[in-house]
Amino acid sequence: MNMDLEERSVRLGEYIVEHRSTVRETAAAFGMSKSTVHKDLTTLLPKKNCGLYREVRAILDRNKEERHLRGGEATKHKYERLRGVRSEELGVRN
């Protein structure tokens, strides 16, 4: 196994645990794809550091359970922004 890839998986895992971040946020922070981050965390990390993997897995599972809530919030904010833009275009005050 390539040691650089294993070390990268550990760095990604440590980042997720330290920041309680999502795969998407971690990918952006490291300048890589979500697929690469996810694959490193789920296939390489358990072989390199099982304890860290368990911590990461708990965070990933929590993120998966909460993603519908984050999506709902994002949609709510999107339409609030759109409503504000339309009001400004029409000269209407909220």
Residues 37-92: tens digit of each pLDDT: 999 999 999 999 999 999 999 999 999 888 777 777 778 888 888 888 766 666 65
State the pLDDT at residue 76: 83
Q: Side-chain half-sphere of 7: how many Cα atoms within 13 Å?
A: 3
Q: Which residues contact 83 (CB under 8 A, 6 or more apart)?
A: 94
pLDDT band at 93 (very low <50, low <70, confident <90, very high): low
State the pLDDT at residue 90: 60
Say if pTM beats, i.e. exceeds, 0.85.
Answer: no
